[in-house]
Amino acid sequence: MTQYVTRRAVLAAGVASLAGCLGRGPVGGAVNPSSTTPDDGTGLDGEPPKGNPGGPPTAQDRLPLPGEPSSLRDRAVSGGPPKDGIPSIDSPAFVATDEASDWIDPSDPVFGLATGTETKAYPQSILVWHEICNDVVDGTPVSVTYCPLTGTAMGFARGETTFGVSGRLVNNNLIMYDRATETWWPQVLATAIPGPWNESPPIRSLREFRVVWTTWERWSTVHPHTKVLSRETGFAQRYGSDPYGSYNPRRGYYEPDSTPLFVSWGEDDRLPPKTVVIGTRAADGAAAFEKNALREGRRIEGNRGGSQLVATYDPHLDTGYVYENPSRAQFEVRDDTFVAESEDSFTAAELPLERTLAFDAMWFAWSGFYPETTLYD
């Protein structure tokens, strides 16, 4: 497994640009309070892969996989529900902040998405029952996805198709499938793998964009005019309850020391299994920044497969951003800003560097998928 990652990294090095920052598409993750520009999206207007007509648009470069694609299929397990047993939301409705505040607790997690013209929040309490919301943002068809077992919220371009929940898991992580080609797409890997409904799909990676994991209080303060995914999903579901535990406060499955529900691929015990890291991966490797360490340090220098990185903490949204920093530019932390040697100040989300896609994940999931990851804690 390890050798495979290494070999891929070498093969990819010649063409390596980060799959997480191939350009700036119309949809991006959350930004700082004043920004209205997209950030580390991959660009969502790609072409469907050859031999996969009607499938979702894919990125130019392929993300690393922890083994041969066929071996991942063999390691997939049933989570219990059949295909679409966990129903994706395909016709989402949205409500205003004042209406949403009637039923979202300020400390409840939401997954935020801010673009040039649209700002949306997807409450964890809703997505825990659906895992995928097929939406249209700024006219672009996207899917906002959430896997409760790995604590990962991620956004993908979907093109003309929609994503559904296969009912299978790899390393406890949601395997999505696209309804046009029935290809399996493990969420964190964001890359096609063979599955029973499509035995030999082109092994390509999805175009992905940042979705920010924060709380309702923080998101609605930064984005007071945000739209919020409505509980009127068309399904009969009790959205006030979480079958796995609670994030407010953290209990049950979400406790840092609790055991993953299914067999975990991660054997790295440097952190308790459910510890939250902000991970970034690309063709050159993977790196993870422990979120608590980033909270405390506000800025952490790092390395991903030889690429110099710097991670910054945004106290407004309680999230982190990761930048490529080949010139090893230095930024001094002063209050909520990052001050360059030129004395120019920047927010955590707007350093004058190339931002690379990063997202929250449980440590066991991250280290299981990317066993060679560097860790900064």
Partner 1 sequence: MTDHDQARIEYSESGIYTKTVAALAVAASRRDSRAVFLVSGSVYLVVYLVTVGDLSTLSGGWEPFTIRVAEDLSRVFARVGFFRFAAIAVVSIGPVVYLFSPGNALVAILLAGLVAGNVALTYLGFVQPRACGLESSTGVLGGIPALLSGAACCGPTILLVFGVQAGSTLITGFQLLVPVAVLLLLGSLLIVGQQVDPSLL
Which of 51, 54, 81, 224 touches partner 1 (CB under 8 A)? 81
> What mask of x and - would describe binding to partner 1 in positions 262 to 281, judged by CB under 8 A?
xxx-----------------
Cα separation, 193 vs 248, in Å, equals: 35
Q: How many Å from the N-terminal Cα to the C-terminal Cα in the chain?
A: 25
Residue among 227 and 274 whose Cβ is closer to partner 1 = 274
**And the tokens for 179?**
């309804």
Q: At a CB cut-off of 8 Å and minimum separation 6, what does 209 contact?
A: 25, 27, 28, 29, 38, 40, 41, 42, 44, 113, 142, 155, 156, 157, 357
**Rounded to the nearest whole angstrom, what is the least distance from the CB of residue 175 to partner 1 in the complex?**
11
Buried b (16+ CB within 10 A) or exposed e, 122-157: bbbbbbbbbbbbbbebbebbbbbbbbbbbbbbbbbb
Other residues' Cβ atoms within 10 Å of the Cβ of residue 91: 10
Window of 14-22, 85-93, 116-124, 195-203 that interacts with partner 1 by CB under 8 A: 85-93
Nearer to partner 1, 209 or 253 (CB): 253
Residue of 237, 248, 303, 337 that binds partner 1 (CB under 8 A): 237
> How far apart, in Å, are the Cα atoms of 334 and each of 29, 111, 211, 297, 298?
24, 28, 26, 12, 10
Binding residues with partner 1: total (CB under 8 A): 35
State the minimum distance, in angstroms, from the CB of residue 50 to partner 1. 33
Q: Candidates 66-74, 261-269, 295-303, 329-337 — which segment interacts with partner 1 by CB under 8 A?
A: 261-269
CB of 238 to partner 1, least distance (A): 6
- Residue 128 interacts with partner 1 (CB under 8 A): yes or no: yes
| Segment near partner 1 (CB under 8 A); pick from 52-60, 156-164, 207-215, 258-266 | 258-266
15 lies in the binding site for partner 1 (CB under 8 A): no
Binding site for partner 1 (CB under 8 A): 77-82, 84-87, 128-129, 131, 148-149, 169, 234-238, 240-241, 243-245, 252-253, 258-264
